[in-house]
Amino acid sequence: MQRKLLTIPIIALLSFAPAAQAQQSVSKQAQQTVNVRSGPGVGYSDIGDLSKGQKIKVFGYDATGRWAMINWQGRIAYVSARYLTDPPSTLVDNKGTGWMRVTGIPANDPDGGLVVRAGPGVEFPKQFVVPQGVALNIVGVSPNGKWSRAQFSDGGFGWVRNHYLTDAGNSNTGQSSIPAAGATLANGMPAGLNCLGTEPFWSFQINSDGTTKFTEANNQNFPIFGTVTAVSNTSYPYSFEAGQIQGVLENQSCSDGMSEITYPWALQLSAPINGFGQQLNGCCRMLGE
């Protein structure tokens, strides 16, 4: 008897990217002009731009949670999640907004504080952790009323579970340091600056009193604090030391490679990452800008 080969059509199941955390699409809106890149990082080619206010669908995030995956003209592309926000229709305004204080975190909590996420749900990537007692500026609430949207001193946003928030009144006393911009330190070095860099993602804050805070994306729970103790030169470039951190601040235009923002300062840092000193390059602007 002659056998016939039965052909079964195979349907290829395509995923957007192996490195991405796949999830149901959510709507987002660009806070400003944002570069669209062919992959999740500034090293990938720039293939277009999202305009300010443009709405898009986000299908997932890369492993770091810093790059959002989108469909750009029929192809997979990525944009910095830092510059995406929720469309106004997804927020319940004037309901439980204002300054709220983090309370009720158990002493043995594995996260050590209130987790800030990229969206209103545990399925969204973790961004960082806010310690107990810190006051947050809450600007919106999710439609189900369980998640609050906080705005931070660097202009970024994140979502927190509002079960751990209580009204802090009209005062932001006790919040994470948001120093006055425009201050100066020894030899005229500017302070009140917020600096950031990529590859790896990091941030460095120079407060008006000279205290500093360095945070690396993969070690959000272990920031490095210091105080500027030495400033060389009486003009740019300023070389300084702040505990384990050494840096050079230059008054020149700088691009973060992820947006169309032009920063007025460029910063070079030497900072310990995973136990080894690493040279980093980034950009700075006044806190609150």
pLDDT at 216 over 50: yes
Residues 62 and 110 occupy one common structural domain: no
Overall number of domains in the chain: 3
> Radius of gyration (Cα) for the chain, nearest Å?
22
Task: Please give the pLDDT value at position 45.
Answer: 92
Instruction: Read off the pLDDT of residues 167-179 as tens digits, 9 standing for 90 and up.
Output: 876 544 434 433 3
pLDDT at 62 over 70: yes
Percent of residues, the chain, with pLDDT higher than 70: 78
Pairwise pLDDT comparison (234 vs 96), residue with the higher score: 234
Task: Please give the pLDDT value at position 174.
Answer: 39
190 beta partners: 184
The pLDDT-based confidence of 4 (bands split at 50, 70, 90) is very low
Task: Please give the pLDDT value at position 37.
Answer: 94
Please give the residue range of the domain that contains residue 57: 21-85
CATH (domain of 138) = 2.30.30.40
Instruction: List CB contacts of 32: < 8 A, sequence separation 6 or more.
Output: 52, 83, 259, 260, 261
Domain presence at residue 11: no
pLDDT at 74 over 60: yes
Averaging pLDDT over each range in 30-34, 38-42, 226-230, 285-289, which range is the top one? Answer: 38-42
Sheet of 126-130, strand order: 126-130, 114-117, 157-161, 147-151, 135-141, 98-102, 165-167
Say if CB 249 and CB 265 are below 8 A apart.
yes
Among 70, 85, 100, the domain-final residue is 85
Residue 237 preceded by cis peptide, ω within 30: yes
Long-range contacts of 33-36 (CB under 8 A, 24+ apart): 33/259, 33/260, 34/79, 34/80, 34/83, 34/84, 34/258, 34/259, 34/260, 35/79, 35/80, 35/257, 35/258, 35/259, 35/260, 36/70, 36/72, 36/77, 36/78, 36/79
Instruction: List CB contacts of 283: < 8 A, sequence separation 6 or more.
Output: 195, 196, 197, 254, 255, 256, 263, 265, 266, 267
Task: Please give the pLDDT value at position 36.
Answer: 94
Instruction: Read off the pLDDT of residues 142-197 as tens digits, 9 standing for 90 and up.
Output: 888 889 888 865 556 788 898 888 887 654 443 443 333 456 776 778 888 889 98
Sequence length of the chain is 289
The overall average pLDDT reported for the chain is: 77
- Give mean pLDDT, residues 71-83: 89
- Write down the pTM of the prediction: 0.44
Name the residue with tokens 């948001």. Answer: 178
Q: Which of 175, 213, 210 is closest to 194 using CA atoms?
A: 213
Pairwise pLDDT comparison (135 vs 3), residue with the higher score: 135
Residues 281 and 221 occupy one common structural domain: yes
Domain presence at residue 4: no
Residues 124 and 196 occupy one common structural domain: no
